[in-house]
């Protein structure tokens, strides 16, 4: 099965750019996510973390 996929991918011109693009997308995503976590305000993090514990809505079906 792997030989079939490898031979098929070798026949596509310019296929070597796709792993590079996917690596860049994931790297940029995690860098941006890390930057957001570091710069997030503590009040926002605390309010979001307490949301599941707030039972203001007693709409149990």
Helices (H), 11-61: 17-39, 42-49
Predicted confidence (pLDDT) at residue 16 exceeds the cutoff of 90: no
Give the distance, in angstroms, between the CA of residue 35 and the centroid of all CA atoms in the same chain.
14
The predicted-structure confidence for 18-61, as pLDDT tens digits, reads as follows: 889 999 999 999 999 999 999 999 998 888 888 877 776 655 55
| pLDDT, position 54 | 76
Nearby residues of 9 by Cβ (< 8 Å), 6 or more positions away: 15
Nearby residues of 38 by Cβ (< 8 Å), 6 or more positions away: none
pLDDT confidence tier of residue 1, bands split at 50, 70 and 90: low
Backbone angles phi, psi at 15, to 5 degrees: -75, -20
């Amino acid at each position: 099965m792997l030989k079939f996929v490898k031979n098929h991918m070798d026949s596509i011109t310019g296929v070597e750019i796709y792993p590079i693009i996917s690596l860049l997308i994931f790297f940029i995503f995690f860098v941006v996510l890390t930057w957001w976590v570091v710069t997030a305000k503590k009040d926002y993090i605390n309010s979001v973390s307490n949301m599941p514990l707030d039972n203001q809505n007693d709409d149990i079906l």
